[in-house]
Amino acid sequence: MSATRIVVGITGASGAIYAQRLIDILSNLDVEIHLVLSRHAMKVIPHELEPLSFKEDKQVDEAVLRYVHANKITVHNYQDFTASIASGSYPTDGMVICPCTSGALGRIANGISTNLLERAADVHLKERRRIIAVLREMPYSEILIENMLRFTRAGGMIIPASPSFYHLPETIKDVVDSVIARILDHLGLESELKVRWTID
């Protein structure tokens, strides 16, 4: 495995812009991306990003290729349990679920795989690989907190979509980048995002 290989899962939580920005940056690095969108993600994305002119019964690639660099991306159908990323024998360097719904997190934390995204997450937990859930939910119920704890104890990491503001963001992209920079840090990837705390 030459390039870094990262699985990106997108669920139906609000915050598709985080996934868009993450994929854009990963595409510009030496990263091979395996992308899987949940059924609800495909419904939410057109409402939050520029019109993507696709329907659920069409190829997901048409939506994805509108805003990412296609040469390093493999798009998997969310129902395809025969996909490479469904097996622990397929090596990866990590997975990011961005954004992550509380429902998806609950199923993953309890070992329930109803689609390829959740199965890929289960694989990363059982293989002891890096896996990050970018939770987009508020407020937190006791059930969600318990699932967050279960997921963390199983080896996952919660990075909530909680942007910082000490870098004085001027655009939405600046705000989003503060979250993406933390994700990249925990994937062990270097980026040129200038959002680190400094008092110099």
106-138 pLDDT per residue, tens:
999 999 999 999 999 999 999 999 999 999 999
Q: 71 falls in which pLDDT band (50, 70, 90)?
A: low
Q: Average pLDDT of the chain?
A: 88
Residue pLDDT, tens place only, 129-184? 999 999 999 999 999 999 999 999 999 999 999 999 988 889 999 999 999 999 99
Per-residue tokens: 9: 């899962």
Residue 99 main-chain phi, psi, to 5 deg? -80, 165
Q: What are the residue ranges spanned by the domains of the chain?
A: 4-187
Let me know: does 150 contact 107? Beta carbons within 8 Å: no
Distance (Å, rounded) from C-alpha 190 to C-alpha 169? Answer: 21
Distance (Å, rounded) from C-alpha 159 to C-alpha 180? Answer: 10
Per-residue tokens: 15: 């915050």
Place of tokens 């969310």: 78
If you ran DSSP here, which 8-state letter would residue 138 be given?
S
Place of tokens 């469904």: 86
Q: How many CA atoms lie within 13 A of 107 on its CB side?
A: 15
* Residue 59 burial by Cβ neighbours in a 10 Å radius (0-12, 13-18, 19+): exposed
With residue 35 as reference, give the H or E element that holds it.
Answer: strand 31-37
pTM: 0.89
Q: 59 falls in which pLDDT band (50, 70, 90)?
A: very low
With residue 24 as reference, give the H or E element that holds it.
Answer: helix 16-28
Fold of 4-187: Rossmann fold (3.40.50)
